[in-house]
Structure 1
Amino acid sequence: MFFFMTIDEQRTRTEKSNDSTLIEFILLGFSDISRHQGLLFGMFLLIYLTILMCNSIIILITRTDPALQTPMYFFLSNFSVVEICYVTVTIPRMLVDLYNQKGNISISECATQMCFILMLGGTECLLLTAMSYDRYVAICNPLHYALVMNHRVCVHLVASCWLSVIPVVIGQTYQIFSLRFCGSNRINHFICDIPPVLKLACGNTFINEIAVYVVAMVFVMVPFVLIIVSYGKIICTILKLSSAKGKAKAFSTCSSHLIVVVLFYGTASVTYLQPKPDQSESIGKLLSLFYTILVPLLNPIIYTLRNQDIMMALRKLLSKMLT
């Protein structure tokens, strides 16, 4: 995505006349700050390794510690798996482009990356909704919590979060890459995301933009509304508690999830609810950088530092490793 080869040389390889169809794109990435490619490479590599390590630790302790064998931590471990997959689809490609100082990507590779980004992003939205439902049942209906959120229900919820997204994402990716791309082959982005790719399509993309809106409404806005409704009822229930300690504990168990929801949905909704042409390229890259890299970096830190059960499990794990 960053490169020193002249634009003319790359365009002769991948860009033809306006009447010809492109077979390759060039991810420009952050070419406007090309002097800092070494710094960016080191920073992104460190962030990637940190995300892998932190989420792997969460998966390990939630699967092995008996005190964490609850639906809340079952969802959290699956959320960490999604986070690992999500950054693996984006950051390694960025690192390769930084190292090679090129940004060439075939249309099939671009379509594959977009498909996985959308699939994992949609799964993350639905998992956050399932986690909010778990908190709603735990706080608003505690007497029936074990019955309602049994292991079978949790497995079905996680499976539906993964499987329901796949056909929609494949269909949307196919629809976008069925368009004809001609003229410029330069994507002013560091990943193959919907808004910058649509800008390179020839002809009218109105139907594709409407499809993006519809899918964004289904997998971004509807889950977000459900989360807001769940937390509205949770807050009302908490405020009715007579014990100040009980209120603090209830708020503590929900605050981490709520912070993650605000961070993720805030940037994702702005990006996909205005796919083209309202969003400037620089703002689009900044938002994408936020929800593809910064949010996955912050999520395990938020869940770890604000959760006493995970901190205790982590201390146990460290003590076992040191003895």
Structure 2
Amino acid sequence: MTQPIIEIRNLERRFQLPRESLFRPASTVYALNGINLTVEPQRSFGIVGESGCGKSTLARIIMGLDKPSAGSVKVKGKDIIAISPAELREMRSDFQMVFQDPFGSLNPRHHVERIVAEPLFAVGSSASKQERKEKVAETLTSVGLRPADMEKYPHEFSGGQRQRVAIARALITRPSLIVADEPVSALDVSVQAQVLNLLRDLEDQFGITFVFISHNLAVVDYACQDAAVIYLGRIVEQGPTSQLFSDPLHPYTQSLVDAVPHVGVKNRHIARQAPTALKTQTAAQTGCTFAGRCGFAKERCRVEQPSLRVVESGHSVACHFFEETRSDRQAAAKTAIAV
């Protein structure tokens, strides 16, 4: 049996906020609350949800850039939380990250050769200066840039080219895992397609597993085989993208899918939403975190937290009444077709 490239168990992350008053205790932000996740090798995985749901916090913890309050994170069988800093540094060559802002993540004072070679210095590579130069040239070519671009600085490139430089930097150590946090959100739509096609080609060429952090369902649907939907620090639905977005089971996933505009489509079903206030992440939650916004919520939802359970072919959902939400959606689809 193939070893998962990422195994996350009971992951929690809390942030202590500064005290607003001498007479009140400091507030706590419950960013991640019991995340369980498994990513298989060479099956790119998408993590979607609204801004502030905990996606980027999860990405930083996977990369070892932040420590969880509880739980474990294993990359290729090693718990990156428990190992020493020296061991983590040694592992760095096997997992890299592409950040959201292609300009802000590149040092404007360094030329491209220095930027792309930076991970080699970080992991203590013994390659000579000429070997590093050759490797940078080879990597730039693999992402659609020219070896001559090594002498340029970030400001001399377009947004799409800068993101290619950032991808080359992540690729230079030939990692088996790359975490991409909103890798195309800052780019024009036409450039987004180019970068996504590049990432898919790299996945096939080098056998890389990508973890995409995104709020764009179309990006995840195109680039990933599997995905998880996060709401207020909890996974509410998970499964193959082909099932997740064609037959969403959780009311929150349904609302995300229905919010995507479709040209020429009339009478689209809009998931039932209750006009109530959003829950805050500065208080421990009881029951279903989405109950306050769900039109199907019952008393059980407000007092009992639903567990993530497999319902079919690896498709999991954390909803007490997902059968009812699915029936409502199917009935609405039939009505739309009839009209």
Alignment TM class, shorter chain as reference: under 0.3
Query: Could you tell me the TM-score, scaled by structure 2's length?
Result: 0.25
Q: Whose strand proportion is higher, 1 or 2?
A: 2
Q: Whose helix proportion is higher, 1 or 2?
A: 1
**Which structure has more RCO (C-alpha within 8 Å, separation ≥ 6)?**
1
